[in-house]
Structure 1
Amino acid sequence: MSQALEAAVTLPGEDFSRVALTAPALDLLRELRRRHGPLMFHQSGGCCDGSSPMCYPAGEFNTGDSDVLLGVFEIDGGASGLSGGGAGGLSDGGSGGVGDAPGGGWSLEFWMSREQFSYWSHTHLTVDVVDGRGSGFSVEAPEGKRFLIRSKLMDWPVPGP
Protein backbone atom coordinates (compact mmCIF):
# COMPACT_ATOMS: atom_id res chain seq x y z
CA MET A 1 0.00 0.00 0.00
CA SER A 2 1.58 3.22 -1.13
CA GLN A 3 0.53 6.54 0.30
CA ALA A 4 0.10 9.21 -2.35
CA LEU A 5 -0.90 12.22 -0.27
CA GLU A 6 -0.65 13.06 3.42
CA ALA A 7 -3.17 15.42 4.98
CA ALA A 8 -2.09 18.70 6.54
CA VAL A 9 -1.75 18.59 10.32
CA THR A 10 -4.77 20.03 12.10
CA LEU A 11 -4.57 19.00 15.76
CA PRO A 12 -2.93 21.52 18.08
CA GLY A 13 0.52 20.50 19.32
CA GLU A 14 1.05 17.84 16.66
CA ASP A 15 3.62 17.95 13.86
CA PHE A 16 2.68 14.76 12.00
CA SER A 17 -0.11 13.79 9.64
CA ARG A 18 -2.69 11.36 10.95
CA VAL A 19 -4.34 10.48 7.64
CA ALA A 20 -3.29 9.81 4.04
CA LEU A 21 -4.82 8.84 0.69
CA THR A 22 -3.59 6.14 -1.66
CA ALA A 23 -3.25 6.97 -5.37
CA PRO A 24 -6.38 4.94 -6.30
CA ALA A 25 -8.40 6.75 -3.60
CA LEU A 26 -7.11 10.09 -4.87
CA ASP A 27 -8.08 9.23 -8.45
CA LEU A 28 -11.60 8.22 -7.39
CA LEU A 29 -11.98 11.38 -5.30
CA ARG A 30 -11.07 13.53 -8.31
CA GLU A 31 -13.77 11.80 -10.36
CA LEU A 32 -16.34 12.12 -7.55
CA ARG A 33 -15.46 15.80 -7.16
CA ARG A 34 -16.20 16.37 -10.87
CA ARG A 35 -19.62 14.76 -10.44
CA HIS A 36 -20.68 15.96 -6.98
CA GLY A 37 -18.70 19.13 -6.26
CA PRO A 38 -16.81 19.70 -2.98
CA LEU A 39 -16.45 16.61 -0.78
CA MET A 40 -15.60 15.64 2.80
CA PHE A 41 -14.91 12.44 4.75
CA HIS A 42 -16.38 11.43 8.09
CA GLN A 43 -15.28 8.34 10.00
CA SER A 44 -17.95 7.50 12.56
CA GLY A 45 -17.59 3.86 13.50
CA GLY A 46 -21.38 3.72 13.57
CA CYS A 47 -23.54 0.63 13.53
CA CYS A 48 -24.59 0.62 9.87
CA ASP A 49 -21.26 0.91 8.11
CA GLY A 50 -18.84 -0.15 10.81
CA SER A 51 -15.64 1.78 10.43
CA SER A 52 -15.92 2.66 6.76
CA PRO A 53 -14.92 6.21 5.88
CA MET A 54 -17.98 7.95 4.50
CA CYS A 55 -17.54 10.43 1.66
CA TYR A 56 -20.22 13.11 1.43
CA PRO A 57 -20.79 16.26 -0.55
CA ALA A 58 -19.31 18.99 1.64
CA GLY A 59 -21.85 20.31 4.11
CA GLU A 60 -24.22 17.31 3.87
CA PHE A 61 -22.85 15.88 7.10
CA ASN A 62 -22.94 18.35 9.97
CA THR A 63 -19.84 18.31 12.13
CA GLY A 64 -19.49 19.92 15.53
CA ASP A 65 -17.99 19.57 19.00
CA SER A 66 -18.48 15.79 18.93
CA ASP A 67 -16.11 15.52 15.93
CA VAL A 68 -12.34 15.89 15.45
CA LEU A 69 -10.79 17.30 12.28
CA LEU A 70 -7.92 14.85 11.68
CA GLY A 71 -6.55 16.43 8.53
CA VAL A 72 -7.13 18.50 5.43
CA PHE A 73 -6.00 17.31 2.02
CA GLU A 74 -4.94 19.88 -0.56
CA ILE A 75 -5.70 18.11 -3.83
CA ASP A 76 -4.69 19.27 -7.28
CA GLY A 77 -7.25 19.06 -10.05
CA GLY A 78 -5.34 16.81 -12.44
CA ALA A 79 -5.13 13.06 -12.76
CA SER A 80 -1.37 13.18 -12.34
CA GLY A 81 0.93 15.09 -10.08
CA LEU A 82 0.20 15.42 -6.40
CA SER A 83 0.13 18.44 -4.23
CA GLY A 84 1.45 17.98 -0.73
CA GLY A 85 -0.40 18.66 2.49
CA GLY A 86 0.64 22.08 3.70
CA ALA A 87 0.00 23.75 7.00
CA GLY A 88 -3.02 25.71 5.81
CA GLY A 89 -6.63 24.75 5.25
CA LEU A 90 -7.75 24.43 8.85
CA SER A 91 -11.45 24.52 9.48
CA ASP A 92 -13.23 26.48 12.14
CA GLY A 93 -15.07 23.32 13.24
CA GLY A 94 -18.08 24.08 11.08
CA SER A 95 -19.83 21.85 8.61
CA GLY A 96 -17.53 20.51 5.94
CA GLY A 97 -15.86 23.84 5.14
CA VAL A 98 -13.97 22.79 2.04
CA GLY A 99 -13.57 24.42 -1.30
CA ASP A 100 -11.36 25.50 -4.12
CA ALA A 101 -7.72 26.23 -3.42
CA PRO A 102 -5.46 28.58 -5.38
CA GLY A 103 -4.15 27.10 -8.64
CA GLY A 104 -7.23 24.99 -9.44
CA GLY A 105 -6.86 22.56 -6.56
CA TRP A 106 -9.34 21.90 -3.79
CA SER A 107 -9.45 21.03 -0.11
CA LEU A 108 -11.02 17.94 1.44
CA GLU A 109 -11.48 17.58 5.20
CA PHE A 110 -11.27 14.28 7.05
CA TRP A 111 -13.37 14.20 10.24
CA MET A 112 -13.81 11.51 12.89
CA SER A 113 -16.24 11.30 15.77
CA ARG A 114 -14.51 12.22 19.03
CA GLU A 115 -15.61 8.92 20.58
CA GLN A 116 -14.12 6.93 17.68
CA PHE A 117 -10.93 9.01 17.90
CA SER A 118 -10.46 7.87 21.50
CA TYR A 119 -10.05 4.32 20.13
CA TRP A 120 -7.99 5.21 17.04
CA SER A 121 -5.76 7.94 18.50
CA HIS A 122 -2.60 5.82 18.26
CA THR A 123 -3.04 4.93 14.60
CA HIS A 124 -2.19 6.51 11.28
CA LEU A 125 -5.06 6.06 8.83
CA THR A 126 -4.76 5.58 5.10
CA VAL A 127 -7.87 5.85 2.93
CA ASP A 128 -7.77 3.29 0.14
CA VAL A 129 -10.35 2.10 -2.38
CA VAL A 130 -11.30 -1.44 -3.39
CA ASP A 131 -13.86 -3.03 -5.70
CA GLY A 132 -17.18 -3.75 -4.05
CA ARG A 133 -20.38 -2.12 -2.96
CA GLY A 134 -19.89 0.69 -0.47
CA SER A 135 -22.41 2.29 1.81
CA GLY A 136 -25.60 3.66 0.34
CA PHE A 137 -24.80 6.95 2.09
CA SER A 138 -21.29 7.41 0.70
CA VAL A 139 -20.96 9.00 -2.77
CA GLU A 140 -18.76 6.22 -4.19
CA ALA A 141 -21.47 3.54 -3.68
CA PRO A 142 -22.85 3.65 -7.26
CA GLU A 143 -19.32 3.34 -8.71
CA GLY A 144 -18.85 -0.31 -7.70
CA LYS A 145 -16.03 0.84 -5.41
CA ARG A 146 -15.77 1.48 -1.71
CA PHE A 147 -13.42 3.44 0.47
CA LEU A 148 -11.80 1.65 3.37
CA ILE A 149 -9.32 2.47 6.11
CA ARG A 150 -5.97 0.80 6.45
CA SER A 151 -4.46 1.59 9.84
CA LYS A 152 -0.95 1.44 11.16
CA LEU A 153 -0.05 1.72 14.83
CA MET A 154 2.06 4.78 15.55
CA ASP A 155 5.12 4.09 17.64
CA TRP A 156 5.54 7.45 19.35
CA PRO A 157 3.56 9.22 22.10
CA VAL A 158 0.40 10.71 20.70
CA PRO A 159 -1.45 13.52 22.48
CA GLY A 160 -5.23 13.61 22.16
CA PRO A 161 -7.52 16.57 21.53
Structure 2
Amino acid sequence: MAQAVTATPAAREAVRRLRAARGGPVMFVQSAGCCAGSTPMCFDDGEFLIGPNDERLGEIEGCSFYIDAALHRAWGSGALVLDVAPGQPEGFSLGAGDGLRFVTLSDACPVNGN
Protein backbone atom coordinates (compact mmCIF):
# COMPACT_ATOMS: atom_id res chain seq x y z
CA MET A 1 0.00 0.00 0.00
CA ALA A 2 1.35 3.44 -0.92
CA GLN A 3 2.17 5.91 1.80
CA ALA A 4 -0.85 8.22 2.07
CA VAL A 5 0.93 10.88 4.13
CA THR A 6 4.10 12.82 3.40
CA ALA A 7 5.78 15.80 5.04
CA THR A 8 7.50 19.00 4.10
CA PRO A 9 11.20 19.37 4.96
CA ALA A 10 10.24 21.78 7.78
CA ALA A 11 7.83 19.24 9.27
CA ARG A 12 10.40 16.44 9.00
CA GLU A 13 12.95 18.57 10.85
CA ALA A 14 10.37 19.44 13.53
CA VAL A 15 9.53 15.74 14.01
CA ARG A 16 13.24 14.84 14.31
CA ARG A 17 13.76 17.57 16.94
CA LEU A 18 10.63 16.50 18.82
CA ARG A 19 11.70 12.83 18.81
CA ALA A 20 15.09 13.79 20.21
CA ALA A 21 13.56 16.03 22.89
CA ARG A 22 10.95 13.42 23.92
CA GLY A 23 13.38 10.48 23.84
CA GLY A 24 11.39 8.47 21.31
CA PRO A 25 8.74 8.52 18.61
CA VAL A 26 5.58 10.57 18.68
CA MET A 27 2.29 9.88 16.91
CA PHE A 28 -0.08 12.06 14.91
CA VAL A 29 -3.86 11.77 15.02
CA GLN A 30 -6.08 13.62 12.56
CA SER A 31 -9.39 13.60 14.42
CA ALA A 32 -12.93 14.12 13.21
CA GLY A 33 -13.98 15.37 16.64
CA CYS A 34 -14.36 18.87 17.99
CA CYS A 35 -10.81 19.83 16.96
CA ALA A 36 -11.17 18.51 13.42
CA GLY A 37 -9.74 20.59 10.65
CA SER A 38 -6.22 20.95 9.39
CA THR A 39 -4.66 20.58 12.84
CA PRO A 40 -3.42 17.09 13.68
CA MET A 41 -2.85 16.24 17.31
CA CYS A 42 0.66 15.10 18.25
CA PHE A 43 1.30 12.86 21.27
CA ASP A 44 4.06 10.70 22.67
CA ASP A 45 3.80 7.35 20.87
CA GLY A 46 1.04 5.26 22.47
CA GLU A 47 -0.36 8.11 24.57
CA PHE A 48 -3.50 8.33 22.42
CA LEU A 49 -5.60 5.19 22.24
CA ILE A 50 -6.31 4.37 18.62
CA GLY A 51 -9.85 3.15 18.02
CA PRO A 52 -11.50 0.96 15.40
CA ASN A 53 -12.38 4.04 13.30
CA ASP A 54 -8.77 5.23 13.03
CA GLU A 55 -6.68 4.35 9.96
CA ARG A 56 -2.88 4.35 9.90
CA LEU A 57 -1.78 6.27 6.81
CA GLY A 58 1.96 5.86 7.19
CA GLU A 59 4.96 7.28 9.01
CA ILE A 60 6.83 10.54 9.17
CA GLU A 61 10.41 10.10 10.42
CA GLY A 62 9.38 6.80 12.07
CA CYS A 63 6.28 8.31 13.72
CA SER A 64 2.82 6.93 12.89
CA PHE A 65 0.12 9.13 11.39
CA TYR A 66 -3.54 8.13 11.93
CA ILE A 67 -6.76 9.64 10.62
CA ASP A 68 -10.41 9.07 11.43
CA ALA A 69 -11.79 6.83 8.65
CA ALA A 70 -14.86 8.99 8.00
CA LEU A 71 -12.72 12.12 7.75
CA HIS A 72 -10.35 10.33 5.39
CA ARG A 73 -13.27 9.36 3.13
CA ALA A 74 -14.64 12.93 3.23
CA TRP A 75 -11.26 14.42 2.28
CA GLY A 76 -10.82 11.97 -0.58
CA SER A 77 -7.99 9.68 -1.55
CA GLY A 78 -5.28 12.29 -2.16
CA ALA A 79 -2.11 12.21 -0.11
CA LEU A 80 -1.97 14.33 3.01
CA VAL A 81 1.06 16.51 3.73
CA LEU A 82 2.23 17.26 7.27
CA ASP A 83 3.61 20.79 7.59
CA VAL A 84 4.29 23.39 10.27
CA ALA A 85 2.76 26.83 10.73
CA PRO A 86 3.07 29.68 13.22
CA GLY A 87 0.89 29.35 16.28
CA GLN A 88 0.34 27.32 19.40
CA PRO A 89 -0.71 23.66 19.29
CA GLU A 90 -4.34 22.73 19.94
CA GLY A 91 -5.46 21.17 23.22
CA PHE A 92 -3.06 18.56 24.56
CA SER A 93 -1.02 18.34 21.36
CA LEU A 94 2.74 18.65 21.39
CA GLY A 95 4.05 21.65 19.47
CA ALA A 96 6.30 21.59 16.42
CA GLY A 97 8.82 23.94 18.03
CA ASP A 98 8.97 27.40 19.52
CA GLY A 99 5.81 29.16 18.33
CA LEU A 100 5.02 26.44 15.77
CA ARG A 101 2.27 23.87 15.39
CA PHE A 102 1.72 20.98 13.02
CA VAL A 103 -0.89 21.32 10.25
CA THR A 104 -2.17 18.91 7.61
CA LEU A 105 -2.49 20.00 4.01
CA SER A 106 -4.71 18.22 1.50
CA ASP A 107 -6.59 19.01 -1.68
CA ALA A 108 -9.77 19.21 0.44
CA CYS A 109 -8.14 21.49 3.04
CA PRO A 110 -5.31 23.36 1.23
CA VAL A 111 -4.93 26.38 3.53
CA ASN A 112 -3.07 26.33 6.85
CA GLY A 113 -5.61 26.94 9.56
CA ASN A 114 -7.67 25.48 12.36
- TM-score computed with the length of structure 2 as normaliser: 0.82
Matched residue, 1:118: 73
Say what the alpha-carbon RMSD is for the aligned residues.
1.9
Greater shift in the superposed pair: 24-33 or 112-121: 112-121
Aligned positions of 1:8-47 closer than 5 A:
14=1, 16-36=2-22, 37-47=24-34
Aligned positions of 1:49-64 closer than 5 A:
50-64=37-51
Aligned structure 1 segments of 4 or more residues deviating by more than 6 angstroms: none
Contact 2:4-2:57 within 8 A present in 1 as well: yes
Residue ranges of structure 2 left out of the alignment (5+ in a row):
109-114
- TM-score computed with the length of structure 1 as normaliser: 0.60
Q: Which gives a bigger RCO, structure 1 or 2 (Cα 8 Å, sep 6+)? A: 2
Q: Distance in 2 between matches of 1:49 and 1:113?
A: 10
Larger radius of gyration: 1
Q: Structure 1 residues 142 and 49 mapped into 2: Cα distance closer, same or farther (>3 Å)?
A: farther
Residue ranges of structure 1 left out of the alignment (5+ in a row):
1-13, 76-106, 154-161
Aligned residues: 107
